[in-house]
Amino acid sequence: MSLTADDVKKIAHLARLGIEEQDVVSYAKDLSGMLDLMTRMSDLDTDGVEPMAHPMDQVQRLRADVVTEQDNREKFQAIAPQVEAGLYLVPKVIE
Amino acid sequence: MHNKTIAELAKGLRSGEFSSVELTTAFLDRIKQHSSLNSYITVTEDLALQEAEAADLRLAKGDAELLTGIPIAQKDIFCTEGVKTTCGSKILDNFIAPYNATVVNKFNNAGAVMLGKLNMDEFAMGSSNETSYYGAVKNPWDINTVPGGSSGGTAVAVAARLTVCATGTDTGGSIRQPAALCGITGLKPTYGRVSRYGMIAYASSLDQGGPMTRSAEDAAIMLQTMAGFDEKDSTSVDLPVPDYRAGLSKKLEGLTIGLPKEFFGEGLNSDVAATLEAAINEYRKLGAKVTEISMPTLKLAIPAYYVIAPAECSANLSRFDGVRFGYRCENPADLADLYTRSRGEGFGKEVKRRILMGTYALSAGYYDAYYIKAQKIRRLISEDFKRALSEVDVIMGPVTPSTAFGIGEKIGNPIEMYLSDIYTIAINLAGVPAMSVPAGFAGGMPVGLQIIGNYFAEDRLLNIAHQYQQVTDWHQQMPKGFE
């Protein structure tokens, strides 16, 4: 299976990932190579096999519904690219 | 001083032979002297000397632990409060972590002295340490070759004696492969044994931190501090931690070793195979019984891994968006541009490749064919391990198909690079623990023997590695120029 340059641009858009125009063809080639590798999976019959998401087949641990985290807003915002009055700033979304 | 084990150093610190400040200074000097290896991203000299002074006080008061005053270093994937934590990426080049990883806290509480943060493949995605934003790391056994990855900086710092010991992480072989290529001892624990809290995520169902050291005994000491339940990690396993050092001296009489025939076929370099055969013969001499086994699903580990790991990575790395921390592009036109360019400019090529692959595998119409199929294969691989490990005590085999390859040799061909992880990846999919132990040399370059055990059998693996290290001295060999 092979991916086209347009496929790569579409996937990059889904991931909100900027890629250089000159690299699109090489990504298409690399991803197609990876997909070729993956087609080997169809060699194995997996009908009726339960998918495994986690090595321990664990279920999510529950805890009491009490506040355990401290307020670290200032500490966390100190490393943000742009903040003002305790808010994270991004370019205007609504005109 | 730089060639002593943790136990020897602990003794020297207590007898007054040297102080932690002296020991730390000696290592800081070595780091400067050998900076061309590029194993450290950040050296925390001032902090290390402060910690060493505090350790000396603790030692004087008599409330020291085994690791108190011992220099260690952290792979730059572990968050360290107040210290730059880059994960080998431009997108985190300005990131000062606001909290410590649990593993870092545990070493701090034990009084260990952190020398700095170690180089790695970007977001732990790579097998050669060449994907790091901070440049390739050089293998001290031959500076024209790679140290392996992703914990390449760790392996080099330990091998060249630029720290006593250090942490690594292993998602598809990232502790074991660089340990093998640099001639050191590395242990990937059972999934859930060591807390992942504050360890920057690549593929959350596979990632696991572990010790990288010169000997199995040092690894036992490090793991003792690292292992254990952590309520801050939802996949941490709540089981008691055994005394790892206490189990080291057990004899190997009657041990059963399985050699999967799939591990010794085509693709394995013949010199590496001969070296491993000699190592397995040592085990026969120690009383082990060796049998051939078959694990037919192993050949599907690489395809399944390169669906599952990129899928998880594409989700995990969506947090790097230029809004709350990390790199933000200049003059974003709008919010979409801010996301797209911050990520596009911040991530390197290998990371982008995996995000794209994962996004594709999870996208509508392909999810069942790739992601669910890979998870079903993961189940079969894990059942293969369970069956094999009910027949034998441990599985042994190669860690890598060859010794260290040249810098630049494979970086242009990602698929070839992926295939070099053929012997390590299945272990992560199953979640079992495995070690790489120095087993000799082929063409002057180190070869690692892989020992794979059952879930939570780290104590057994360490015992088996330690017994081998009592009758061989491969783990004590030093690269020329770094004695």
* pLDDT above 80: residue A95: no
Q: A48-57, A71-80, B260-269, B292-301: which range is least confident on average?
A: A48-57
Domain range for A31 is: 5-42
* pLDDT above 90: residue A93: no
Looking at every residue in chain A, the average pLDDT score rounds to: 92
Judgement on whether residues B217 and B355 belong to the same structural domain of the protein: no
The active-site residue, picked from B75, B106, B188, B410, is B75
Judgement on whether residues B139 and B223 belong to the same structural domain of the protein: yes
Q: Is A85 left (phi over 0), alpha (psi -120 to 50) or beta?
A: left
* pLDDT above 90: residue A1: no
Query: Is residue B401 domain-resident?
Result: no
Domain range for B366 is: 303-375
Q: What is the mean pLDDT of residues B385-393?
A: 98
Judgement on whether residues B199 and B342 belong to the same structural domain of the protein: no
Query: Is residue A33 domain-resident?
Result: yes
Confidence class of residue A11 from pLDDT cuts 50, 70 and 90? very high
Q: Is B75 a catalytic residue?
A: yes
Query: Is residue A25 domain-resident?
Result: yes
Query: Is residue B398 domain-resident?
Result: no
Q: Say which CATH number the domain at B80 has.
A: 3.90.1300.10
pLDDT for the residue numbered A62: 86
Q: Which strand (E) or helix (H) includes residue B417?
A: helix B414-419
Q: Give the minimum alpha-carbon distance from B378 to chain A in angstroms, rounded to a whole number.
A: 6
The minimal CB distance from B375 to the residues A42, A51, A61 is found for A51
Provide, rounded to the nearest whole percent, the portion of chain A with pLDDT above 90.
76
Tell me how many domains chain A contains: 1
Query: Is residue B278 domain-resident?
Result: no
Q: Is B400 helix (H, G, I), strand (E, B) or coil?
A: coil
pLDDT for the residue numbered B256: 98
Query: Is residue B334 domain-resident?
Result: yes
Tell me the pLDDT tens digit for each residue of B273-299: 999 999 999 999 999 999 999 999 999
CB contact under 8 A, A49 and B380: yes
**DSSP codes joined into one string, A4-73:** -HHHHHHHHHHTT----GGGHHHHHHHHHHHHHHHGGGGGS--TTPPP--STT-PPPPP--S-------H
Confidence class of residue B11 from pLDDT cuts 50, 70 and 90? very high
Judgement on whether residues B83 and B167 belong to the same structural domain of the protein: yes
Tell me the pLDDT tens digit for each residue of B204-240: 999 999 999 999 999 999 999 999 999 999 999 999 9
Three-class HEC string of B21-84:
HHHHHHHHHHHHHCHHHCCEEEECHHHHHHHHHHHHHHHHHCCCCCCCCCEEEEECCECECCEE
* pLDDT above 80: residue B309: yes
For B309, nearest residue in chain A (alpha carbons) = A53
- Name, in order, each residue with C-beta under 8 angstroms of B261's C-beta and a sequence gap of 6 or more: B292, B293, B294
Query: Is residue A28 domain-resident?
Result: yes
Paired strand residues for B43: B116
CB contact under 8 A, B378 and A88: no
CB contact under 8 A, A72 and B98: yes
What residues of B are in contact with residue A82 (Cβ under 8 Å)?
A: 328
Query: Is residue A49 domain-resident?
Result: no
Q: What is the mean pLDDT of residues A69-85?
A: 94
Residue that terminates a domain, selected from B317, B344, B375: B375
Residue that terminates a domain, selected from B321, B347, B375: B375
pLDDT for the residue numbered B364: 87
Q: Give the minimum alpha-carbon distance from A74 to chain B in angstroms, rounded to a whole number.
A: 10
pLDDT for the residue numbered A3: 94
Confidence class of residue A9 from pLDDT cuts 50, 70 and 90? very high
Q: Is B436 a catalytic residue?
A: no
Q: Is B174 a catalytic residue?
A: yes
Query: Is residue B434 domain-resident?
Result: no
Query: Is residue A58 domain-resident?
Result: no
Tell me the pLDDT tens digit for each residue of A16-46: 999 999 999 999 999 999 999 999 999 899 9
Residue that terminates a domain, selected from B314, B349, B375: B375
pLDDT for the residue numbered B200: 98
Judgement on whether residues B54 and B137 belong to the same structural domain of the protein: yes
* pLDDT above 80: residue B140: yes
* pLDDT above 90: residue B74: yes
Query: Is residue B276 domain-resident?
Result: no
Confidence class of residue B250 from pLDDT cuts 50, 70 and 90? very high
Query: Is residue A24 domain-resident?
Result: yes
Q: Give the minimum alpha-carbon distance from B300 to chain A in angstroms, rounded to a whole number.
A: 6
The minimal CB distance from A55 to the residues B205, B327, B347 is found for B205
Chain A interface test: which of B85, B91, B314, B356 (most A C-beta within 10 Å): B356
CB distance from B356 to chain A under 8 Å?
yes
Q: What is the mean pLDDT of residues B300-326?
A: 97
pLDDT for the residue numbered A94: 76
Tell me how many domains chain B contains: 2
* pLDDT above 90: residue B102: yes
Tell me the pLDDT tens digit for each residue of B104-135: 999 999 999 999 999 999 999 999 999 999 99
Query: Is residue A67 domain-resident?
Result: no
d(C-alpha B185, C-alpha B164), whole Å: 12
The dihedrals phi and psi of B183, each to the nearest 5 degrees, come to 70, 35
Judgement on whether residues B244 and B310 belong to the same structural domain of the protein: no
d(C-alpha B150, C-alpha B127), whole Å: 5
B162 and B192 Cβ atoms separated by less than 8 Å: no
pLDDT for the residue numbered A54: 86
CB contact under 8 A, A14 and B307: no
pLDDT for the residue numbered A61: 83
* pLDDT above 80: residue B451: yes
* pLDDT above 90: residue B201: yes
Q: Give the minimum alpha-carbon distance from A41 to chain B in angstroms, rounded to a whole number.
A: 6
The pTM assigned to this predicted structure is 0.97
pLDDT for the residue numbered A59: 76
Query: Is residue A50 domain-resident?
Result: no
Q: What is the mean pLDDT of residues B382-388?
A: 97
Paired strand residues for B292: B259
Provide, rounded to the nearest whole percent, the portion of chain B with pLDDT above 70.
100
B451 and B434 Cβ atoms separated by less than 8 Å: yes
For residue B414, which amino acid is it?
A: P
